[in-house]
Amino acid sequence: MLVLSGTIGAGKTSLTNLLAKHLNKPAFYESVDDNKILPLFYKDPQKYAFLLQIYFLNKRLDSIKAANADQESVMDRSIFEDSLLFHLNADLGRATNTEVDIYDSLLQNMMQELPEATYQKNPDLLIHINISFDTMLQRIKKRGRSYEQIDTDPSLYNYYKELDQRYTDWYANYDKSPKMQINGDDLDFVEDPAARQKVLTLIDEKIASL
Ligand SMILES: Nc1ncnc2c1ncn2[C@@H]1O[C@H](COP(=O)(O)OP(=O)(O)OP(=O)(O)O)[C@@H](O)[C@H]1O
């Protein structure tokens, strides 16, 4: 299982699509637009942070189980980033210590590899798309999901800034599988065909080396 990671607007969904087509493998997406809890969370984070995370955990484990039939199936987001986001929200006072403890132990329980299982839950490769904070802000604006806009809620600026910093630390410390990083500022694989080819070649080379 190949798993994409990266901050909001990094291009995870687009690269999942490209890569799955390139490899002729199934893609697994977490649909953001169908998520009924996400807009509620952005409106009232204190009330909905924990519920949103339980929703995501459940969905992502479903995808992991489905994606595991194939070593090169592609998933558009990792379960580990949910934990990163939840801890950020908890540190902002949007979840209680008890909720954090329950979340952490639930995640650990869900992700425990069982010796008798026919598949593993951790990725075979994590592909991290790294974009700068400025690019992140531009993409959020360009995509225009209403609840993500800083113009509507200026406090989101600090939330995104902190998220950006935590992503850098998270990727540096990630050790659940082999990993690679794509420079999403330099390589615009959505708009530029040459960049697209370069990214796919980099990933092919990494897969071949595993
Ligand atoms: N575990 C989570 N906790 C809180 N918010 C989350 C969580 N997971 C995703 N989100 C929110 O859901 C929205 C979509 O995020 P995500 O990064 O998965 O997709 P995306 O922005 O479409 O990424 P890309 O453009 O890279 O495909 C964002 O507003 C993000 O903050």
From 27, 2, 12, 22, select the one nearest 139 (Cα to Cα): 12
CA angle 200, 22, 122 (to 5 degrees): 75
Nearest-atom index, ligand 1, CA of 7? 17
Which residues have any ligand 1 atom within 6 Å of their CB? 6, 8-13, 32, 38, 52-53, 56, 77, 82, 85-86, 148
Q: Which amino acid makes up residue 48?
A: Y
Write the ipTM: 0.88
Cα of 189 from ligand 1 centre, angstroms:
19
- Domains observed in the chain: 2-209 (3.40.50.300)
Task: Give the rounded distance of the alpha carbon of 197 from its chain centre.
Answer: 23
Asked if 147 contacts 48 with a C-beta cutoff of 8 angstroms, the reply is no
**Ligand 1: residue whose CA is nearest its atom 21:** 8
pLDDT (tens place) for every residue of the chain, 210 residues total: 999 999 999 999 999 999 999 999 999 998 788 899 999 999 999 999 999 999 999 998 888 888 887 778 999 999 999 999 999 999 999 999 999 999 999 999 988 877 777 778 889 999 999 999 999 999 999 999 999 999 999 999 999 999 999 999 999 999 999 999 999 999 999 999 999 999 999 999 999 999
User: Is 76 noted as a catalytic residue in this protein?
Assistant: yes
CA separation for the pair 153, 156 (Å, rounded): 6
Eight-class DSSP state of 125: E
